[in-house]
Structure 1
């Protein structure tokens, strides 16, 4: 960067030249997008659908537009603190500071472990071993848990991987969730339908990532893809939820900026 060139100008130059690439981490949002299915007697959110308002016809001869029907927690979406009992007095999605939604991306790759065991859980020792190799998590980082699960993101049955005991998807142990909540990260991102493991309802407390992270003013992002295109360190993430007033979460577009 020259003495007269700003940091923004340098970034724009790098984007224009291709030296910095923008990678979309967002899964497609469609009626087929898998959503969380809770067992009775709990209520479930709705799948995404479009309702035509006009389509260059008598209802609107020069324009096409639709009404969107979907839940806050559908597809790639952000979990705000008020989503969970431990954070119910915390921030709704519209009150999250933008600076918390942009920051360093840290990728931990456990695809091999998850291939061998879909119920694989991250423990504190996994975080500590990663930091011993790569350095401490940067303050305000988003920790992204790469598992390879995004290959199922348009196949609801494979995505849930459920049997009579419930879903079998990877996640974080209770001790791991406590460790993350005490760290300086801003958020935790996963390729699965939720930030907790499929069997997390049987843990104590139930759904410990929701409980500990959202209660500590940290955020979750789910149903990510293309994490295999990110380095372990050095990328920047941009998480863009809708500022739904009072919202417990929001479908989000998530990007990573990566230097080639």
Structure 2
């Protein structure tokens, strides 16, 4: 499925290069195709885990006219790996597994499906994706093929960047009172069995807020399956048909890092 979708998009883009593309930003997308940014801005409001020693910092080095008569701007940036829209590389919870730079592009650029559990999450902030959700999705929309990026939509993006609502608690340095949806052990095992390329979610963690053992992380990452957390604008995606491009900073030895993730939506 993945191969055919990629080839189809490549062919459509090729047609665009021959004069049929109208997308103003790329010049390569076919008429009717769209790009959707699934990434939150990194700034002073970016949310990090409560026990993180710091947040995102951007410090200005230069900003203005130079002695040579031209404008020049430059900054330094500093941030923990895990915060905002970011990648969890398998090494994050699985010793000896892939680090950020070792992830093959096939796990970062792939067709996506969106499993929506927002109705359950609206009733229970600690709701979990269960195998029954996966099975119900497949019954209605077809089997999730190997190499698919599985995105779990909980609707939690509506709370970003309100720390208390998004995380369920805003006590500094305390991660013991968090409440937000996630993925159950059994569902993580089901996605591994389906050979998902990666798993993404619109909350702060693939494990729900009250988790103490981070079992969804452990199951996924033992199988070298990366995770994308704090994914934005998931409500703009179709259940099927999007191509995800998720490119983190390529940090050698990294356990994760800031992620720029976008979706390419085919013509309606």
2:107–2:149: 8 Å Cα contact kept in structure 1?
Answer: no
Q: In structure 1, list runs of 5 or more residues that go unmatched.
A: 1-5, 39-43
| Secondary structure at 1:200 match in 2 | coil
1:33–1:156: 8 Å Cα contact kept in structure 2?
Answer: no
Partner Cα separation in structure 2 for residue 209 and residue 59 of structure 1:
55
Partner of 2:46: 33
2:154–2:202: 8 Å Cα contact kept in structure 1?
Answer: yes
Tell me if 1:10 matches 2:15.
Answer: yes
RMSD of equivalent CA atoms: 2.0
| Secondary structure at 2:209 match in 1 | coil
Cα deviations across residues 146-194 of structure 1 (Å, max 9, x unaligned)? 1111111211111111389511100112222222222210111111111
Aligned to 1:56, which of 64, 89, 94? 64
Aligned residue-pair number: 244
Matches within 5 A, 1:176-187: 176-187=187-198
| Secondary structure at 2:36 match in 1 | strand
Partner of 1:19: 32
Tell me if 1:81 matches 2:86.
Answer: no
User: What is the CA-CA distance between 1:102 and the residue it aligns to?
Assistant: 0.6
Q: TM-score, normalised by structure 2?
A: 0.85
| Secondary structure at 1:126 match in 2 | helix
1:27–1:76: 8 Å Cα contact kept in structure 2?
Answer: yes
Q: In structure 2, list runs of 5 or more residues that go unmatched.
A: 1-9
Partner Cα separation in structure 1 for residue 164 and residue 215 of structure 2:
24
| Secondary structure at 1:162 match in 2 | coil
Q: TM-score, normalised by structure 1?
A: 0.87
Partner Cα separation in structure 2 for residue 142 and residue 59 of structure 1:
50
Partner of 1:41: none
Matches within 5 A, 1:10-159: 10=15, 13-14=20-21, 15=23, 16=27, 17-38=30-51, 44-56=52-64, 62-84=71-93, 87-159=94-166
2:87–2:228: 8 Å Cα contact kept in structure 1?
Answer: yes
Partner Cα separation in structure 2 for residue 115 and residue 74 of structure 1:
24
